[in-house]
Structure 1
Amino acid sequence: MMTSKIVRAHTQVAVPDPRRALDVLSAFYRDNDCSVSIEGDDHVISISLGTVRVGPRDRAIGIEITAANDTAITQLKTGVITMVDQLVPGADLDCRWHGAGQASEKGGKLPNFRELSVGKVTNLGPDMRRLRLYGDDLTPYLGGAIHVRLIIPPHGVSAPQWPTMGENGLPVWPKGEDKVEPRVYTIRQINADEGWMDIDFVVHGDNGPGSRFANNAVPGQLVGVTGPIGSDLPVVDWYLFAADETGIPAICRYLEDLPDDKTGHVILEVSGPDAKQNLPHHPGFDLAWIFRDGSCPEMAFAPQGTNTNVDADADAGAGAGAGDDVSPFARAICDIKVPDETHGVFCWTATEQKIYRHLHTHFRKTLKLGREQCLVMTFWRAEAH
């Protein structure tokens, strides 16, 4: 019988209080819908790319990573060391990894790094723009993981300096005038044979690196990419997809890939009716548009025999709380009836942080869906006024 290849890497990081560090790291991953189990003194964290085992040592924490390949190992190294850096005060990040993933030694490139150049630029409406990006050997970006990390250079720089990988698993980022900005985006379409991928950007002026890059993009401009990241959708019978503009590219990918016998709902929030996009048609899904400008919601298509009553003015579902200050978008999502056969459903949402909190409560606490039945994400935070 054939078995899947598993590769491993391990290190130790000196910290002032190892057990406190374990608790803080585990709490972070639990809050981000990762499974965390306790095995003796070790905390075992299951992530889409693999498994991270963290345990107490003498004035240190030991970290062991297992994954399917060197690329996944390298991505997990970066992820866990970044969290140690951000969450554990006093951690000594001058550590060295042993085992798999040594191709990413000091001075090496980030996993699957490619330098891409802008080709075709297409406006998708008032709030979104599509860039076709060209590069060599894009085959690592084919498959189930549909997200990438774009590395956006400073505005006006024609020959960017790209980050390299440090021995501790953290990228070494250019500084000062050479500073670059990493941002996660969805591959809307890709053709490795022709050497291009399409990325859809939400554009809202020049007040963010991604939006600024897309607003000013002209053929020949350079951008970096590394990844891919993300995981496959679970195989179930019924799906709920809900997102604002930031999640539309991923939902389009899912609608294109799901078999025709799958059913469910799609709820999308955009600025107004003129910001609607042409989505891939799937015969088993209802589609509702919610508009932030107050225009009446719209149902774009509805298969026979399904409930199309998405009333943005109705009371919110139990998860949001009828008395809370909840947006029409959140109310519409919470009003969707999830089938009782919870083993055969999956709910996927990508929203602003405040809405995320309501939805996380609704799906995880009110409907009591497990991690394998829902993925609730926040891609951005509204500015406080």
Structure 2
Amino acid sequence: MAPLKLIKGTVVGRQMVTPGMVRVTLGGSDIEALKSTGIGDEYVRLFFPDPATGELVLPEVDAQGFWKYPEGKKPAHCECYTIRYFRDGEIDLDFVVHEGGRASEWAQATEPGDEIVLREPYGIYEAPADADWQLFVCDATGLPALGRLLEGLAEHVEARVIVEVPDKSHEQQFESKAQVKIVWLHGAGNGVAASQLEDAVKSMTFPADRSVYVWVASEAKTVRPIRKYLRHELKWPATRYSITGYWTDKLAEFERNWAALDPAVKKQIDDLWRSGRDAQDVRDDVEAVMEKFGL
């Protein structure tokens, strides 16, 4: 099995962006050689050592491109984070401030000189070239990607933005050449209250005379009905939207339920991902199984 393309970053700075977000700047020789994908929501995957032993068990890739870990070893905890700014020799990663999250707690405590292993960036946003009317929908976790995406829009694009944050102090300012209108939903989603994003999307009137693209990034269960709405009710092709679950609410409960799940069901889900079928059809089937078992 061939190793993943992993690199090392060195912390060179840390600062608060808002009361709810902390920014960590990484540098070092690997970061200096790092190439951006050019995609606004590009992210890196961070790998954290076992807090008890300090051991960092990294994955390898099998012949099908899936991750495998050494037998009997506890895999390194890993999480994905958007590159907010990409400069020569440095990248900025923004983390939502909260208790209990391994990455967030690391970001709040890390100091210059600390090192972390990360995977090279990968982007998801893929608006068609003719998409001149775009809707961006996210919670606080999507703000770093949202900022870069808006900054990269051309001036002829009309952008509508819906963001839910815990309170007004979490709002951020973004620059864009595009025509941007932002609606902030305070006290919604983000683990503090029920999300309002599904209702907000369903209340939108999409212009019939424009080329529309929708980008959504929020909690995993929150984005599912939005995807169903666009894919199955509006019957849009997958080229017209990007729907990504950035995090899982009540993660400890989810992990307990997953651990208790019948191995046959886990195999069913794994087989679906490995089936080689259309990715959107597979996602439909996987999400149906997950919802059936309360996941």
Hey, what does 2:37 align to over in structure 1?
A: 143
Count of aligned pairs between the two proteins: 243
Question: Normalized against structure 2, the TM-score is what?
Answer: 0.72
* Alpha-carbon distance, 1:165 to partner: 2.9
Question: How far 1:223 moved relative to its partner?
Answer: 0.8
Q: 1:374 to 1:341 in 2, by over 3 A?
A: farther
Aligned AA (2:84): R
> Does the alignment pair 1:357 with 2:224?
yes
**Is 2:127 the partner of 1:233?**
yes
76, 81, 87: which one aligns with 1:185: 81
Change (3 A) 1:141 1:264: same
Query: Could you say what secondary structure the match of 1:274 adopts?
Result: helix
Q: Which amino acid aligns with 2:182?
A: L
Q: How far did residue 173 of structure 1 move?
A: 4.4
1:248 aligns with 2:116: no
CA distance in 2, matches of 1:355, 1:293: 12
Q: Does 1:331 align with 2:227?
A: no
Amino acid at match of 2:85: Q
Amino acid at match of 1:330: E
CA distance change for structure 1 residues 292 and 136 in 2, over 3 Å: closer, same or farther? Answer: same
> What is residue 158 of structure 2 aligned with on the other side?
263
Q: What's 2:13 paired with?
A: 120
Contact 2:219 2:246 in 1 (8 A): yes
Identity of aligned residues (%): 28
Q: 1:170 to 1:330 in 2, by over 3 A?
A: closer
Distance 1:163 1:348, change over 3 A: same
State the alpha-carbon separation in 2 of the partners of residues 118 and 155 from structure 1.
19
Higher gyration radius (CA): 1
TM-score under structure 1 normalisation?
0.57
The 1-side partners of 2:23 and 2:127 are apart by: 24
Q: What displacement does 1:233 show?
A: 3.3
Indicate how the Cα distance of structure 1 residues 268 and 176 shifts in structure 2: closer, same or farther if over 3 A, else same: farther
The amino acid across from 2:14 in the alignment is: V
CA distance in 1, matches of 2:194, 2:52: 41
Tell me if the contact between 1:243 and 1:350 (Cα under 8 Å) persists in the aligned partners: yes
Determine if contact 2:147/2:174 at 8 Å carries over to the other structure: yes
Conserved 8 A contact 1:326-1:355: no
Q: Provide the rounded CA distance (Å) in 2 between the counterparts of 1:120 and 1:326.
A: 35
Measure how far apart 1:273 and its partner are: 0.6
Deviation at 1:125, TM superposition (A): 1.8
1:202 matched residue in structure 2: 96
Partner of 1:211: 104
Are 1:221 and 2:114 counterparts?
yes
RMSD across aligned positions (CA): 2.9
From the superposition, tell whether residues 371 and 221 of structure 1 become closer, same or farther in structure 2 (CA, over 3 Å): same
